[in-house]
C-alpha cells in the first residue's frame, strides 16, 4: 500500500485517520490541504496540534524542488526540472495555449521503451513515479508559475502505460472534486503502444484522450525506430485502437514524428490512409526534434505540408504540431539528459 498520504484517495486517508482515533470529517480536511500543495502539516490550521505532530512523524509530506527553470522568450513556455525526494530528476513543461494552460508531465524517471529518436530513453528506466509525484508536477507548476492549470498531457519522460496502476491512481486524484478537479476530457495520455494495457485502459471507459505514438505506417519502418513494435506489431496495435474506439467512443489521436527519409514519403501517407480505414482518428504531425545522440533528422517543411495535405484530402484531420519552447530544450527528456551529463562530466570539463 502507498505510504504517502498524497497518493491516497480521501477514503484511504479516512482509514489512516480512523486508526489514529480521528473523526471521519478530518479526511476531507487533510485531503484538501494536501491537494493545495502545503509543505507541512503546520499549515493545516484546522487540525489539532497533536494530530499535526503525529502525521509529521508518520507520513512526511514530500514536495519536489526546482533544480532548473527555463522560460521561453518567444512563447512563454516554462520548463521545470524537479528534484524528487530520492534525488532523481524529472521534467515538466507548461505550455500556454489559447484554450488554457497545459502541463506536460513525466510518468517515470527515464524509460525502457528504447525509441530511436527519443532523449528520455537513452539512460534506460530508473524507476516509476508514484501517484503523488505526478500530482506534484501539476500542483507545483501551478503554484510556482501562478498560472491556473486546466489541461494535462502525459507526454513527458516515461511510458505511462508501463506504470499503469500509479497513472490510474494519479488520474483519479487530479480529477477529484476536492482536489485539483481537472476534467478527464482535458487530459491526454500518450503511449508507444502497449497493446494489453490499451485494452485494460479501454475497460475503464475514461473520458481522456488516448494518443498513440504511431510514427510509421508499417512494421518494416516501425521496427527500425520503435523496439516495442517487435512485441506489438502495427496490426495488433491498430486492432487495439479499433477496440478502444468501440469501447469508449473516443476518437484516437495519433502522433507521427516526421523523420527525413524514414517515414515521410507520399507512399507512407497513402499506406497510413489505407490501414486506418474506418477508424475515427486525428493526426498530430511533429517535425522530429533533433536529439544530439541520434543520426535521425527532421523532415523538410515541404514534406510535412505534403504529408498533411494527403491525409486531409483522404478525410483524416491532421495538424502540424506548433513547436513551443524550441529555445529551451523543451522536448522530452532533453533537459534532464543535459543536466545528468553535466553532473557526470569531470569537473575540469564543465
DSSP helix/strand/coil, 87: coil
Phi, psi of 150 (to 5 degrees): -115, -20
Cβ atoms within 10 Å, residue 133: 28
Among 31, 33, 117, 232, binds ligand SAH (CB under 6 A): 117
Determine, following the binding rule CB under 6 A, whether residue 288 of this chain makes contact with ligand SAH: yes
Q: Which residues are catalytic?
A: 91, 332
Which residue of 102, 145, 163, 191 would you call a contact of ligand SAH, by CB under 6 A? 191
- Note whether 17 binds ligand SAH by CB under 6 A: no
Dist. CA 90–CA 331, nearest whole Å: 12
CA distance 255 to 267: 18
Among 138, 192, 238, 316, binds ligand SAH (CB under 6 A): 192
Query: Looking up cell 501517407, which residue turns up?
Result: 269
Binding mask 291-310 for ligand SAH (x = CB under 6 A): x-------------------
Which residue is associated with the grid cell 495520455?
189
Please list, residue by residue across 313-349, b when 16 or more beta carbons sit within 10 angstroms of its beta carbon and e when fewer do.
eeebebebeeebbeebbbbbbbbbbebbeeeeeeeee
Q: In this chain, which of 90, 286, 316, 328 binds ligand SAH, going by CB under 6 A?
A: 286
Q: Binding ligand SAH by CB under 6 A: which of 92, 213, 229, 299?
A: 213
Residue number, 61 or 155, with CB nearest to ligand SAH: 155
Rounded to the nearest whole angstrom, what is the least distance from the CB of residue 44 to ligand SAH in the complex? Answer: 35
Q: Which stretch binds ligand SAH (CB under 6 A): 112-120, 175-183, 200-208, 309-317?
A: 112-120
The dihedral through the CA atoms of 140, 74, 296, 189 has a sign that is positive
CB of 95 to ligand SAH, least distance (A): 13
Q: By CB under 6 A, what part of segment 237-276 binds ligand SAH?
A: 255, 257
In Å, the largest CA–CA distance within the chain is 70
Within 10 Å of residue 205's Cβ, how many Cβ atoms? 10
Query: Which of these ranges, 4-12, 266-274, 286-294, 336-344, lies near ligand SAH under the rule CB under 6 A?
Result: 286-294
How many Å apart are CA 278 and CA 318, to the nearest integer?
Answer: 16
- Interaction mask 151-190, ligand SAH, x per CB under 6 A: ----x---x------------------------------x
Answer yes or no: are the C-beta atoms of 196 and 50 closer than 8 Å.
no
Rounded to whole angstroms, the Cα distance separating 324 from 78 reads 10
Q: What's the closest the beta carbon of residue 182 comes to ligand SAH, in angstroms?
A: 19
Residues contributing to the site for ligand SAH (CB under 6 A): 115, 117-118, 155, 159, 190-192, 213, 255, 257, 286, 288-289, 291, 331-332
Amino acid at each position: 500500500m502507498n505510504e504517502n498520504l498524497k497518493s491516497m484517495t480521501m477514503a484511504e486517508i479516512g482509514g489512516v485517520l480512523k486508526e489514529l482515533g480521528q473523526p471521519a470529517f478530518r479526511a476531507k480536511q487533510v485531503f484538501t490541504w494536501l491537494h493545495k500543495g502545503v509543505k507541512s502539516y503546520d499549515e493545516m490550521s484546522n487540525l489539532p496540534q497533536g494530530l499535526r505532530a503525529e502525521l509529521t512523524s508518520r507520513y512526511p509530506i514530500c514536495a519536489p524542488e526546482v533544480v532548473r527553470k527555463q522560460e521561453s522568450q518567444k512563447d512563454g513556455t516554462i520548463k521545470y526540472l524537479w528534484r524528487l525526494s530520492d534525488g532523481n530528476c524529472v521534467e515538466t513543461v507548461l505550455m500556454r495555449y489559447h484554450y488554457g494552460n497545459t502541463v506536460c508531465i513525466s510518468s517515470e524517471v527515464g524509460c525502457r521503451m528504447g525509441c530511436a529518436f527519443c532523449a528520455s530513453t537513452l539512460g534506460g528506466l530508473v524507476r516509476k513515479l508514484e501517484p503523488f509525484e505526478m500530482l506534484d508536477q501539476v500542483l507545483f507548476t501551478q503554484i510556482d508559475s501562478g498560472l491556473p492549470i486546466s489541461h494535462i498531457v502525459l507526454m513527458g519522460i516515461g511510458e505511462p502505460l508501463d506504470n499503469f496502476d500509479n497513472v490510474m491512481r494519479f488520474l483519479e486524484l487530479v480529477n477529484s472534486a476536492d482536489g485539483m478537479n481537472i476534467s478527464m476530457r482535458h487530459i491526454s495520455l500518450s503511449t508507444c503502444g502497449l497493446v494489453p494495457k490499451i485494452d485494460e485502459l479501454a475497460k475503464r471507459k475514461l473520458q481522456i484522450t488516448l494518443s498513440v505514438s504511431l510514427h510509421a505506417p508499417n512494421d518494416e519502418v516501425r521496427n527500425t525506430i520503435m523496439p516495442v513494435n517487435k512485441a506489438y506489431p502495427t496490426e495488433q496495435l491498430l486492432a487495439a485502437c479499433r477496440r478502444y474506439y468501440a469501447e469508449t467512443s473516443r476518437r484516437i489521436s495519433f502522433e507521427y514524428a516526421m523523420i527525413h527519409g524514414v517515414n515521410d514519403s507520399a507512399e507512407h501517407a497513402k499506406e497510413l490512409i489505407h490501414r486506418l480505414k474506418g477508424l475515427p482518428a486525428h493526426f498530430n504531425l511533429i517535425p522530429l526534434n533533433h536529439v544530439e545522440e541520434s543520426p535521425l533528422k527532421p523532415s523538410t517543411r515541404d514534406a510535412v505540408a505534403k504529408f498533411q495535405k494527403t491525409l486531409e484530402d483522404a478525410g483524416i484531420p491532421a495538424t502540424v504540431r506548433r513547436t513551443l519552447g524550441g529555445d529551451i530544450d523543451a522536448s522530452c527528456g532533453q533537459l534532464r539528459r543535459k543536466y545528468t551529463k553535466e553532473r557526470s562530466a569531470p569537473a575540469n570539463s564543465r
